[in-house]
């Protein structure tokens, strides 16, 4: 890509200045909710969840990044990502040893 600017002298002589512009692969930007919280209950209680949304975009015209729908197991629960919406479901049996005030991340 080039940008050409024409300069004109006081005697009407003109000269083009040609600037070559080289693009780079810009990093995509991820936005949304990146935190959640849940509180331990008892094994057998209704599911305890936290949820949010994330999005990814890229200013480069030929890039259209997306997140794949996925279920990912963690140490204390699992996270489902579907169409940019995530839901974390706590595994109650994995956190029964927590005392009042204990937190894990």
Give residue 10's pLDDT.
97
Phi-psi region of 76 (alpha: psi -120 to 50; beta: other; left: phi over 0): alpha
Residue 22 to residues 13, 15, 19, 25, 43, Cα–Cα distance (Å): 29, 23, 10, 10, 59
Give residue 58's pLDDT.
92
Give residue 63's pLDDT.
84
Whether the Cβ atoms of residue 43 and residue 96 lie closer than 8 Å to each other:
yes
Give residue 61's pLDDT.
79
Answer whether 0.75 is exceeded by the pTM: yes
| pLDDT digit string (tens) for the chain, length 105 residues | 999 999 999 999 999 999 999 999 899 999 999 999 999 999 999 999 999 999 999 998 788 899 999 999 999 999 999 999 999 999 999 999 999 989 998
């Amino acid at each position: 890509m080039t940008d050409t600017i024409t300069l004109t002298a006081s005697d009407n002589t003109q000269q083009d200045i040609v600037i070559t512009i080289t693009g780079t692969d810009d990093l995509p930007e991820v936005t949304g909710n990146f935190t959640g919280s849940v509180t331990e209950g008892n094994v057998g209680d209704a599911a305890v969840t936290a949820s949010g949304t994330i999005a990814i975009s890229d200013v480069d015209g030929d890039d259209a990044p997306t997140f794949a729908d996925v279920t990912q197991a963690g140490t204390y629960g699992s996270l489902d990502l579907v169409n940019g919406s995530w839901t974390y479901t706590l595994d109650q049996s994995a956190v029964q040893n927590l005392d009042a005030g204990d937190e894990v991340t």
